[in-house]
Each structure stands twice: as structure tokens, then as C-alpha cells.
Amino acid sequence: MQTGGYWRLPDVVECLGRLAAAAGNHQHAARLFGAAEANRQRTGEVRFKIYQAGYDAALTTIRNALEEQDFDAAWAEGTALSTEEAIAYAQRGRGQRKRPTSGWESLTPTERDVVRLVSDGLTNADVATRLFISPRTVQTHLTHVYAKLGLASRVQLVQEAARHG
């Protein structure tokens, strides 16, 4: 039955987060937990009490495994996701990495789209509109791009993009 909504979505995303934490993928788990919490805030959907102890235990495991700033960053990335982006992120999962960790070849297709649009002179808000994502997600992509390319500013990014045509 289709309801036009995402009934119990935060529970499903938290379940995936608990599985990620159990597998040792703590950043992924923190993003998923952040996405679930943001969805709860938007929809008012509460966690069933029966799940609270497991949630608390998993959250403690994740927090203990990550540095505070890494946890906070991953959580913020999760909370920045729209409902549809959170679903897409959860569906992607995390398999073996096939791209290098740095350089132009390391950029994801979405990161490349963001670079192209920024190079065309668009603001984060304009890029977000074009790609149907939030401005916060655009900023997150740019932060990842800067780190992967060893850049510190938008100007440097535009200059590098021009070199790589």
C-alpha cells in the first residue's frame, strides 16, 4: 500500500546505522543516525521505547569510536540530508572503495557536478537548486572536494577546474 509518505523511515535508517556501527563503519553510522534524527525532527515521529536502549548503546559506541569533531561533522552531514537524500544515501551503502582517495579521479560524479557549476560562477544556493539538493549539502560536497584536492578556497577550486578543463 502506498501512503505517499515514509512511514517509520527514521527507524529503518537507525537500524542501518546500528548495522554500520556493528560493522565498524562509525562515520557512516553517525551520518545515518544524524539523518534519522533530522527526519524525526521534521516529522515529529518518535522512537518506540523498545528501541531506545539499543539506540543509546549504538550511539555510545559510535561516539567512543570517533573523535568528537569527526562525530559532529558526520552527524551534521546526516542532518543536512533531505528525506530523499537520506534514502539515497542509505541505499548506496558502503562497499569497497573503487576511486582513489585524493586528486581529480577521487571526485564523485556529484562532486564533479558541483565543481562544474561553481566554476560557472553559481552560488551554493544556485548549485543546490540545479542539483535538487540543499545548500548545506553543496557546502559539504565542496568541503570534501577541497580536502581531496588539497585546496583552501573557492577561487583555488575555480583555477584548478580551469586547468583540468
Q: What is the pTM of this model?
A: 0.55
Neighbours of 43 (CB within 10 A): 14
Question: The C-alpha cell of 64 is what?
Answer: 567512543
Instruction: Quote the pLDDT of residue 6.
Output: 67
pLDDT tens figures, 1-31: 344 466 788 998 999 999 988 888 899 999 9
Non-local CB neighbours of 5 within 8 Å, separated by 6+ positions: none
- Structural domains in the chain, sorted by start: 9-92 (no CATH), 104-164 (1.10.10.10)
Asked if residue 123 lies in contact with residue 114, where contact means CB atoms within 8 angstroms, the answer is no
pLDDT tens figures, 104-130: 998 888 999 999 999 999 999 999 999
Residue 157 clears pLDDT 80, i.e. is over it? yes
Closest CA to 157 of 143, 94, 34: 143
Query: Distance of CA 77 to CAs 15, 84, 134, 156, 165, Å?
Result: 18, 14, 11, 24, 29
Distance CA 84, CA 1 (A): 19
Instruction: Quote the pLDDT of residue 50.
Output: 93
Neighbours of 114 (CB within 10 A): 28
